[in-house]
C-alpha cells in the first residue's frame, strides 16, 4: 500500500466523489437507451455468479485480515473490486439490450394480469423491498468502498478499519442480495 499523506490524495478524493455521482446517473441514463439487434439475455446468471463470487471474496478477505494475512486480504479485495466493475458492465450491457422483467409476469408480456398478481401476492412485496434496498445500497456502497480502499492505500489503517466496519456489511449485502434478486426474478425472464 501507498504511504502518501491524505493531502497528496485530494485529487483522488475528488475522483471518488465524482465517480460516486457519475456512475449512478450514467446507469440510470443508460436504462433509457435500448440497443436493438444485440442479445445479451445470457448475462443475468453470469452477473449473479459474479455477485456470488464477490460475496465469497469479501468473506475470504475478512478471514485473511483476521488471520493477519494482509497481502492476501489486499489481493482479495482488489479482485472483489475488479469483479464489481465487471458486474456493473454486464448489468448495464444487459439492460441496454433487454426489456426489464416484471416480477410475476409468467407470460412475459411486461404486465401483471389478475391471475399473475394473485400468484405472486405473497412474495411480490418481499421482492420489491429486497430489490429497492439492493439498488439503494449499491449506490451508497460506491463511495464507502472507494474511500475505505483509499484509506488503506494511504496507510491510514485506523481510518480504514473504521470505514471497513460500514463498507464490509453494505458491500456483502449488495453482493448477496444481487444473487437472491436474480433467483427470485429468473423464472420470469422471457425465453
Q: What is the pLDDT of residues 35-57, one digit of tens each?
A: 999 999 999 999 999 999 999 99
C-beta neighbour count of 27 within 10 angstroms: 16
Question: Once rounded to an integer, what is the mean pLDDT over residues 88-98?
Answer: 92
pLDDT at 4: 47
Q: What is the pLDDT of residues 6-33, one digit of tens each?
A: 456 778 889 999 999 999 998 888 878 8
* CB 20, CB 143: distance < 8 Å: yes
The CATH topology of domain 39-188 is 1.20.120
Q: Is the pLDDT of residue 190 over 90?
A: no
Give the cell for residue 15: 475522483
Using CA atoms, how far apart are residues 71 and 64, in angstroms rounded to an integer?
9
Using CA atoms, how far apart are residues 160 and 172, in angstroms rounded to an integer?
17
Amino acid at each position: 500500500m501507498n504511504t502518501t499523506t491524505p493531502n497528496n490524495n485530494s485529487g483522488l478524493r475528488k475522483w471518488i466523489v465524482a465517480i460516486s455521482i457519475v456512475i449512478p446517473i450514467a446507469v440510470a441514463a443508460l436504462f433509457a437507451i435500448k440497443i436493438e439487434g444485440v442479445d445479451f439475455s445470457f448475462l443475468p446468471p453470469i452477473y449473479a455468479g459474479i455477485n456470488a463470487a464477490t460475496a465469497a471474496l469479501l468473506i475470504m478477505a475478512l478471514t485473511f485480515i483476521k488471520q493477519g494475512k494482509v497481502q492476501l486480504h489486499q489481493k482479495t479485495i482488489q479482485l472483489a473490486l475488479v469483479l464489481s466493475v465487471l458486474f456493473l458492465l454486464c448489468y448495464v450491457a444487459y439492460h441496454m439490450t433487454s426489456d426489464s422483467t416484471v416480477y410475476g409476469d409468467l407470460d412475459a408480456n411486461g404486465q401483471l394480469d389478475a391471475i399473475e398478481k394473485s400468484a405472486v401476492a405473497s412474495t411480490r412485496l418481499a421482492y420489491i423491498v429486497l430489490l429497492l434496498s439492493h439498488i439503494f445500497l449499491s449506490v451508497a456502497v460506491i463511495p464507502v468502498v472507494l474511500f475505505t480502499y483509499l484509506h488503506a492505500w494511504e496507510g491510514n489503517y485506523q481510518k480504514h478499519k473504521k470505514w471497513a466496519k460500514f463498507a464490509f456489511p453494505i458491500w456483502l449485502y449488495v453482493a448477496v442480495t444481487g444473487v437472491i434478486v436474480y433467483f427470485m426474478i429468473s423464472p420470469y425472464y422471457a425465453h
